[in-house]
Structure 1
């Protein structure tokens, strides 16, 4: 497991909450936004819970395309071994200057999701229950005296 060290967790959470996410279903991208329901996705792909995860740029440090693709292949191997249903997905900044490829998973337990994310050095995932707004789950303790990223951001105790 990689040790995640972030200089400013609050700023990172704000950036992740503002990012644009999408999942590809039958060739059509469906948007995901932190704090908004994903009714179209849930109608198309019914599940109890959902998780967006990526293996790109561990510890939020930019890596080369080849390093990110190698990490993604390792993640896919683990997802295949665990038989998790998945669809291709991605995250990008609103200006389109940064993009990370990942996967939307269905019905993965919270402990398995957090273990995978930590194993691949991720600072956060998107996770939500069917019928509820998409939530940002930061995999680090909440910085002192901050409301960073708003009401739809959860912080892990570490």
Structure 2
């Protein structure tokens, strides 16, 4: 298991919450936004729970396309092992300078989702239940000022304070 060290976890969470996310279904791009319901996605791809996960750039450190593609192939093998339904997806910074492919999964339980993300060195995933707003799940301990963030209502932190 990889350990993620972040100087300011709140700033990282804010960046992830502000990112743009999307999944591709039958050629249509369905946008996801932290803190908002995913009504269109849920109407076209019904499930009880959803997770966005990527294997790219563990610990938010840029890696080569070759290394990222290899990690993605390993993640995909794990997803297939769990027989989780999946759609191609991506995450992108608001300015479009940072983009990572990933996978939107249906009905994979929370513990398994967390384990996969941690195994692949990820700081966070998106995870939510049908009919609820998309939530950012930070897979690290929060810093002491975590509640000061304006997005705190849609961010879940692993561990306790």
TM-score (norm 2): 0.96
Unaligned residue ranges in structure 1 (runs of 5+): none
The CA deviation string for residues 43-97 of structure 1, in whole angstroms up to 9 with x for no partner, is 1000000000000000111111111111000000111111110000000011111
Q: How far apart are residue 8 of structure 1 and its match?
A: 1.2
Structure 1 stretches of 4+ with a deviation exceeding 2 A read 145-150
Number of the residue aligned with 2:13: 13
Q: Which moved more, 1:134-143 or 1:146-155?
A: 146-155
The CA deviation string for residues 91-115 of structure 1, in whole angstroms up to 9 with x for no partner, is 0011111100000000011100000
Q: How far apart are residue 138 of structure 1 and its match?
A: 0.2
Q: 3-state SS of the aligned residue for 2:13?
A: helix
Q: How far apart are residue 7 of structure 1 and its match?
A: 1.5
Number of the residue aligned with 1:155: 157
- State the alpha-carbon separation in 2 of the partners of residues 22 and 64 from structure 1: 23
| Residues 1:105 and 2:101 are matched in the alignment | no
Q: Is the 8 A contact 2:52 2:103 kept in 1?
A: yes
- State the alpha-carbon separation in 2 of the partners of residues 56 and 45 from structure 1: 25
Q: How far apart are residue 145 of structure 1 and its match?
A: 2.7
- State the alpha-carbon separation in 1 of the partners of residues 90 and 17 from structure 2: 14
TM-score (norm 1): 0.97
Number of the residue aligned with 2:146: 146
What is the CA RMSD across the aligned residues, in angstroms? 1.0
| Residues 1:124 and 2:124 are matched in the alignment | yes
How many aligned residue pairs are there? 158
- State the alpha-carbon separation in 2 of the partners of residues 132 and 89 from structure 1: 19
Number of the residue aligned with 1:34: 34
Q: Which moved more, 1:47-56 or 1:77-86?
A: 77-86
- State the alpha-carbon separation in 2 of the partners of residues 53 and 146 from structure 1: 22
- State the alpha-carbon separation in 2 of the partners of residues 46 and 146 from structure 1: 32
Number of the residue aligned with 1:46: 46
